[in-house]
Structure 1
Amino acid sequence: MSLFHLILLALIQGLTEFLPISSSGHLILLPQAMGSEDQGQLLDVAVHVGTLGAVVLYFWNDVKRAASGVPAMLIGRLDAPGARLAFHLAVATVPVMIFGVFLAATGLNDALRSMAVIGWTMLGFGVLLWWMDQRGSESKTDQDWTLKDAIKLGLWQAIALIPGTSRSGITITGARALGYGREASARLAMLMSIPAILASGGYLLLDTGSEWTPDRIRDCAIAAALAFVAALLALKLMMKLLQSVSFTPYVIYRVLLGSLLLYIAYT
């Protein structure tokens, strides 16, 4: 793959993974827009590894707290420091894993990768994000995260396996519906992305054994590094903007892009 294509792929993944505008939808549209072949699962895994590194670094204190609580969680001591956070993250990841296996087993994974589907989800879930953001209260912080809310947000997150939905966008939508503030909603969505990316990346790796060639490994390393930088910048920008700006700019982008995709798909 050319260096230009790798840079474009990494930038799109890095900038869209944590913004509520759907990275998967953009990655599916990229080869269609460029008239090239799909980049393949191995490169998808590589750019996801890059974005995973960015969110772990940005939320390092929370990640360290959750990781330190895993041993206590495994023996049922949820009152230990970090154990409750680790448990809630694990619970919230279960729905997306179950739904992911279902989509893969039924073949719906490939059937949903169409411009029309991405257009509808981009538009529909964008409007839903705006609605929940406007009407949702800001009474809860991420410290108020309960097991019940973790289950609900896990179900919201599972919907993101439909291309164009946006994992961060739909999780933020669910959190705003539950009464979490904008920054708290984004923080929970980002933390939930860590086990979700690990799970999806691990699953994709099972199907990429034949793709491990020296050239592909080089391409993956370049793409992962660039995606890491782009994702870190996008994270910092979004978390800073949320102190004074709502999610409306992202919604406007989603509505415009979704409308354009639907026009192209049906004409």
Structure 2
Amino acid sequence: MALSGNKWRKYVYMKSFAALAPHLPNTRLMSKDALWQMVGKYGYAIVKPANGSRGRGVIQVAALRNGGYELHYENRKTRVGDFERVYAYIRRIVGSSSYLVQWRVPRATVNGRPFDLRVVVQRRRNSNSWNVTGKLAKVAGKGYIVSNITRSKGRVLPVHAAIRRSTIIRKQGADARVHRVALLSAHKLGKMYPGHRIFGLDVGLDRSGHVWIIEANLFPSMSHFLKLGDKTMIQRIRAFRNG
């Protein structure tokens, strides 16, 4: 199979495994009906490119209690009176590109700002054993919903520090749960992409400490790890990539 960054294909594949399904937020191909149903069911939805990366083109739609909707795009919030205008607003941004509608994972926060984790899982050449070689927390910048550091002017933190300072109630064992889900994801994705030796998972933790796989990247950026004071992880990632 040719390598593809299509998020929908990976979602459908991963959802087919009973052990992974509880960790995947409800996701559908973007359509007017899909958006209407997702917002109607949950009150929130995330609209994002099927092939995008680095937080580009991500829009949050929220139903307001007093009627109407709020659209959050980049660091701008726009109030719209009815759903027809919501859809028209999104279509202007989306154009003809392929998009997904996803339940907005209620991510835990650090100092009022949502965060998620980047987890890198690798295997060495001629080995079927997957290893978590790096993980860190990405805290969104002020006013942003995306945690991409460059885009939102956010910051990185060690995972243990982010969990300790977060609104997660069940902090104990959260890191181990992330580790387990990441290894399981890589094991399954490795069957979809035989020969591939690295996956970068964006993982969210809600307030209860439940692990959510927001998306899986085939060619994850390593620049975040250079921002950590401790260079142990970036060195390990490079060693696995070369060995």
TM-score, L = length of structure 2: 0.24
Please state which structure has a larger fraction of its residues in helix.
Answer: 1
Relative to total residues, which structure has the larger strand share, 1 or 2? Answer: 2
Give the TM-score, by structure 1 length.
0.22
Using CA pairs under 8 Å that are at least 6 residues apart, name the structure with larger relative contact order, 1 or 2. 1
